[in-house]
Structure 1
Amino acid sequence: MRQRVMVVGIDGSESSRRAAAYAVGLAGREGARLIGVYVRPLPSSMVSMADTSGAAAASVVASQDEVVTEFHDTLRRERTRSGVDMEIVVRQGDPFTELCQAANETWADAVIVGRSESLLHRIAGSVAQRLVRCGRWPVTVVP
């Protein structure tokens, strides 16, 4: 019998931190492997045109690297404390598309994400809402 797999989306927001903490606990109770997926957004063409020196782009990449580093540190601590088999995957593109692809590739049994903190996402549809509507996996949305 294969080990269960859970995918958690992380983006550095407070709700994604709570989702990651919840996912670690759930994976520990279920004896599942946990895969954290961080999706770097594609660079905006408007930023590229306005940023001829590259300083803004470098700042964005540095802040994205901080999120990845923070999650790596959390993984190291939690792996030692909880014994959960965890890893992080970094991708680039659309968060919904990349989370779906990661869940498909790993044969995920569940996907866990934080609730969107953006008012626009609540109106137009968030990654969490799109994952739920997709209906491929059980999706837990952590507030």
Structure 2
Amino acid sequence: MAEEAAPQRPAFELGTDGPSVVVVGFDGSPPSARAGAYAAGVARREGARLVVVHVETPPVMALLSPDQPWPIRETMAQRTADLRTQVEDDAAHAGVRAEFVAVRGEPFAQLCRLATQLRADLVVVGASARVGHRLLGSLGNRLVRSSRWPVVVVP
């Protein structure tokens, strides 16, 4: 009688059954606010760490006048401070602790970088309402196609 091979055990899986780190993109728009609410609910139910990421991107027209950048920086800094306050207030109302991270750059690249760095289990963004994104691809579509993490695009 031939000796049977022992059954192979699956490799050890890191993590838990649910997400432990949820990253959500937030720019203050209604779709991103809905994404934030969804992410906060997931984080609260799963006991996960919630990281709210705001990517500061200067308006395209501002790049055309490099000799006067200071009003743009002040405006962006004030916008970021306002969003931070909004996130803190909304998180307290939802009963969840949220970490607010503000970075500068291109939204797709920065969200990918932070989600990788934080070892995110879930990335949540709002659906784009811009017509051009239907043709060129939205942030949500690009994140889904990158297929590095589960991505939820909230309408």
Normalising by the residue count of structure 1, what TM-score does the alignment of the two structures yield? 0.84
| Stretch moving more, 25-34 or 60-69 | 60-69
SS at match of 1:89: strand
- Equivalent in the alignment of 2:78: 62
Q: Distance in 2 between matches of 1:27 and 1:67?
A: 19
User: What displacement does 1:117 show?
Assistant: 1.6
- Structure 2, gaps ≥5 residues long: 1-13
1:91 is aligned to 2:103: yes
| Percent identity of paired positions between Structure 1 and Structure 2 | 41
| Deviation of the 1:48 alpha carbon | 3.2
Residues 51-71 of structure 1: CA distance to partner in whole angstroms, max 9, x if unpaired? 47x445533432333222211
Say which SS state the counterpart of residue 108 (structure 1) adopts: coil
Among 22, 44, 54, the alignment partner of 1:38 is 54
- Amino acid of the residue matched to residue 125 of structure 1? G
Give runs of aligned pairs for residues 1-143 of structure 1, distance below 5 A. Answer: 2=15, 4-42=20-58, 44-49=62-67, 51=68, 54-78=70-94, 81=95, 84-143=96-155
Kept after mapping to 1: 8 A contact 2:25/2:52: yes
- The number of aligned residues is 137
Gaps in structure 1 of 5+ consecutive residues: none
The whole-number CA distance in structure 1 between the counterparts of 2:114 and 2:105 is 12
Q: Distance in 2 between matches of 1:36 and 1:56?
A: 23
Q: RCO greater where, 1 or 2, for CA within 8 Å and sep 6 or more?
A: 1
Query: Is the Cα contact below 8 Å between 1:9 and 1:16 reproduced in 2?
Result: yes
Q: Over aligned residues, Cα RMSD in angstroms?
A: 2.1
- AA aligned to 1:141 is V
Distance 1:34 1:138 in 2: 15
